[in-house]
Structure 1
Amino acid sequence: MVYTRKDVSTLTADERRRFVKAMLEVKRRGEYDEFVRMHIDHYVSDGEGGLRTAHMAPSFLAWHRRFLLELEKALRRVDPSVTVPYWDWTRDRTATAAPWTADLLGGNGRASDRQVTTGPFAYATGNWTLKENVTDGEFLTRDLGRSANPIELPTAAELEWALKDPVYDTAPWDSTVTEGFRNKLEGWGTGRGSAAWRNHNRVHRWVGGEMLGGASVNDPVFWLHHAFIDLVWTRWQARHRVHRYLPAEPPGEASRQYRRVVARKEKLPPWNVTPDQLEDVSGIYRYA
């Protein structure tokens, strides 16, 4: 049966409680840390060799769509009523709005070390010790709005700039492309400050702390952020119906991207699924 992902700001008190409880149980079972490790392992940049799947590549959206589905399956094994809510950062733009409430994700990190001390994911609760990380830190950290060098969350106009591009992605299929929906949404830009981090990427920068690197999954807001990114992809698909995931065919041997990006009908590691198979999720879930 098709289930619904809701705007986090519209969740009832019971829905918030169930979501948090399921997240903590997935963490207690050790499954959550496997998701963190998977993201770290697949966070491959342009400067590295080999296949890129999760970031700086056309499969950014497809990879995270499947990643979200896997987390959602784990949550629904705990509580079948739970789905991943989305955080619309074009509307809920302050450090005190949802999802930064005591009954959901907790708030900002304290000034001294950016440790999150409020909400169910605070280190002091004993329920959210970081075990897979790119540093040796054990507690969740945030720096909402980046206190030392403030930035703003992306606006609806900036998101529209990405949405109106009818082409999914373009060569050279990496972080340097300036046209195409995928990188305008993923957000690898040029220059300094806000211009260097657009849409998806700037949200990671705005949250700060654990959200800054490959271990960003350690902050539960990762999933709410990516649920919204996934919703944006569905909006792009509805607006540009004749346009699809690109590249349709793998880059040839003469290309710098030969065997470095996933074409539409190629398998998307670490799963036995193709971007082609992930384009239509209408039979699995919808967005409210």
Structure 2
Amino acid sequence: MMFCALLVTFLIAFVDSQFNYDSWIDLKKATPTKISLDEEKVLAFGIQGSGRGQCQTDTNLRCGIKCSCISNRRYCCRQRKDWDSLSHSEKTRFLDAVYDIATGRRGWARRNHYVRLLYIHERFWLTAIHKRDEFFPWHRIYMLRIENLLRSVDCRITIPYWDWTKQPARWWESSIFNYRYFGSNVDQRTGRLTHHAQCPSNGYFSQQNRFTDLRNRCLVRQFTYNVAPASYERIQRILSWTSFRQFESSLRHEHGVPHFMVGGESTGLFFTERAAEDPLFWVHHSNVDYQWYQRQTRYLETWDEFWGESDLKNRRLSAFEETMGQAINPFRHGKGGVCVEYVENDDRYEKMLEKLQNSRFDNLNSGSGFALSKIECLERSRQFPSQIFTLFRTSAFEKNDFLRKRNQDGDC
């Protein structure tokens, strides 16, 4: 018994030594920067420019690409934007392309390519793509694949991101679930929100619009209203942790919450290995990639940190030709070295830092890092859905550490 007790004590000490919960924001180990492209990022990410001495002003080119002038050189990147910042025509342009490709209206070659991509996600569901090594880089390349397919229809299209951190308490009221876009979860008989599993009652991908999954059936969603995604403060706290291991584990599991709350329990498509068959998958994972992008571009010292294994970057990603190293750099990822830049359209980050600074003087953060209101922390009373741990086959150690840290921070 004494030996067991000593062993447990050793393991606890070992675990604590492996997870450094320090935050760059709290300890000021690095200066958080804006995520837009600038000279500092050009140097850090090794981006190759063109036209030395010929670039004087930033320009917006066609095909969703913006060229920035930095030190008299031109750097051109695809622009991915917040869903809410798009005009109605930009939203419908994206949705039209997805719908037309998925239903074969843009030719069966594109339809077959699209189907192959969906089957890849289903086939590799229980492999490395949802574990620590490949989750972030694999999905970055996966998104690039579908984006390139959409751009073959209309080169102005890039995948927007659904920022579910904006209204975590009432996420179902997001504009993305508007009846004109991805559709609401309203019972067709009563006209009220429903908990029942059902086909989207309206929107582009509804049964009435003759949209089907790969089994030739309607999509099925089952909203779970008593579960909420992480708030902006919670995500930014995760992004600022100096421990890559803790950051990766936390964000990977937090990403599962929108899958669960939209797909619901076990009957909703969005919470299964077939989640990619719901086009909501792309805007959700665009947001997850955006969050990783924020960490990389705000804390440049470790933008290419990936488990501390140099040989890992040369390993090929499951089902793809790209290596992990070709996926890690957001400004040169994929075989063609595609530059992607996410557009931030509000000042929440600056306000959060100001709030954090004020809270230091008020109560030394109370150990949490953020002073949050009752409204902001409404989702605190909602337990993290344990089904996510089951779905991802999370080890008991990783699960307990994630929940311990979540509870310790008191973050939303």
**Residues 1:82 and 2:141 aligned together:** no
**Counterpart among 191, 210, 217 of residue 138 in structure 1:** 217
TM-score with structure 1 setting the length: 0.78
Q: Distance in 2 between matches of 1:114 and 1:104?
A: 17
Question: Based on CA coordinates, which of the two structures has the bigger radius of gyration?
Answer: 2
Write the letter of the residue equivalent to 1:245: F
**Residues 1:182 and 2:264 aligned together:** no
**Counterpart among 165, 184, 200 of residue 107 in structure 1:** 184
Q: What whole-Å deviation, never above 9, does each CA across 1:214-273 have from its counterpart, x for those lacking one?
A: 1011111111111011011111112332321124146xxxxxxxxxxxx22211121111
Q: What stretches of structure 1 of length at least 5 have no aligned partner?
A: 45-51, 170-179, 188-198, 251-262
**Residues 1:202 and 2:257 aligned together:** yes
Residue in 1 that maps onto 2:239: 163
Q: Distance in 2 between matches of 1:138 and 1:202?
A: 25
Residue in 2 that maps onto 1:96: 173
**Residues 1:280 and 2:356 aligned together:** no
2:331 partner SS: coil
Q: Distance in 2 between matches of 1:153 and 1:79?
A: 32
Write the letter of the residue equivalent to 1:203: P
Distance 1:21 1:157, change over 3 A: same
Distance 1:56 1:222, change over 3 A: same
Write the letter of the residue equivalent to 2:341: R
Q: How does 1:227-242 map to 2 (within 5 A)?
A: 227-242=286-301
TM-score with structure 2 setting the length: 0.55
- 8 A Cα contact 2:83 2:162, kept in partner: yes
Distance 1:223 1:109, change over 3 A: farther
**Residues 1:34 and 2:116 aligned together:** yes
Residue in 2 that maps onto 1:120: 204
Write the letter of the residue equivalent to 2:200: V
Q: Distance in 2 between matches of 1:3 and 1:247?
A: 29
Distance 1:203 1:113, change over 3 A: closer
Residue in 2 that maps onto 1:245: 306
- 8 A Cα contact 2:167 2:231, kept in partner: no
Residue in 2 that maps onto 1:176: none
Distance 1:247 1:124, change over 3 A: farther
- 8 A Cα contact 1:86 1:226, kept in partner: yes
Aligned residue pairs: how many? 240
Distance 1:242 1:113, change over 3 A: closer
Q: What stretches of structure 2 of length at least 5 have no aligned partner?
A: 1-75, 105-110, 188-193, 333-338, 344-412
- 8 A Cα contact 2:143 2:282, kept in partner: yes
- 8 A Cα contact 1:4 1:286, kept in partner: yes
Distance 1:33 1:92, change over 3 A: farther
Aligned-pair CA distance for 1:117: 1.6
Structure ranking higher in helix proportion: 2
Q: Distance in 2 between matches of 1:166 and 1:25?
A: 43
- 8 A Cα contact 1:16 1:103, kept in partner: no
- 8 A Cα contact 1:58 1:182, kept in partner: no
**Residues 1:6 and 2:81 aligned together:** yes
Aligned-pair CA distance for 1:92: 4.0
- 8 A Cα contact 2:161 2:284, kept in partner: yes
Residue in 2 that maps onto 1:191: none
Distance 1:77 1:65, change over 3 A: same
Aligned-pair CA distance for 1:28: 2.2
**Counterpart among 228, 241, 247 of residue 152 in structure 1:** 228
**Counterpart among 200, 212, 218 of residue 129 in structure 1:** 212
Residue in 2 that maps onto 1:264: 313
Calculate percent identity across the aligned residue pairs: 24
1:3 partner SS: strand
Aligned-pair CA distance for 1:36: 1.8
Write the letter of the residue equivalent to 1:226: H
- 8 A Cα contact 2:159 2:283, kept in partner: yes
